[in-house]
Amino acid sequence: MGIPLLGEKFPEIEVQTTHGKMLLPDNFKGKWFVFFSHPADFTPVCTTEFVAFQKRYDEFQKLNCELIGLSIDQVFSHIKWVEWIKEKLNIEIKFPIVADDTGEVSKKLGLIHPGKGTNTVRAVFIVDPNGTIRAILYYPQELGRNMDEILRMVKGLQVSDENGVAMPANWPNNELIKDKVIIPPASDEKTAKSRLEMAEAGEIECFDWWFCYKGL
């Protein structure tokens, strides 16, 4: 079927999770959610990732964003692993984990890359309240994810949607414009001229007509 693309709807899938059966993306309708896969339960890198996600769970929820994990392990393995994390590391995993022991969900979402083994790679799908895929990340098994970057992406996409702007590199700590945001480039001569006039009036800031920015 191929890997889902940015701007497409997240596929409708019924899944078995540690929180019971769920229908995606309907169960998160009206919310953002981060759907992420991990290679296997009871593995060191994946354990550090789940702890890192849980440590930031409240921050995701403040953004009206839920988390849901997946691997091709059975639900019994997920439950036991979550219990181990709570018992040994004193961290309670509060978000659901999909048990894709048949591999059907992984195939539909392009989560198994034969060149990297038979387990799921470390994929991330950021999905908006309308069920639209807004960002996709793929990591190999040997590289753990940066959860602060995923959190930053959700924040940035929300700010972009709310204000009709783009986010610069490393936002909100950009090397050129710091925490300010980029105004979409002018697409005609009239708009280009007005941008420079707005900059002269102090309404916005510009390096040139095609690179203007502002604070929020």
Catalytic sites, residue numbers:
46
Q: How many residues does the chain have?
A: 216
CB-based contact 63:134 (threshold 8 Å): no
Distance, CA of 138 to chain centre: 11
List Cβ neighbours of 57 (8 Å cut-off, separation of 6 or more): 67, 94, 95
Helix or strand or coil: residue 213?
strand
Tokens of 28: 């998160």
**Rounded distance, CA 105 to CA 79, Å?**
19
Pairing, β 32-37 against β 65-71: parallel
**Rounded distance, CA 156 to CA 129, Å?**
15
Query: One-letter amino acid identity for 129?
Result: P
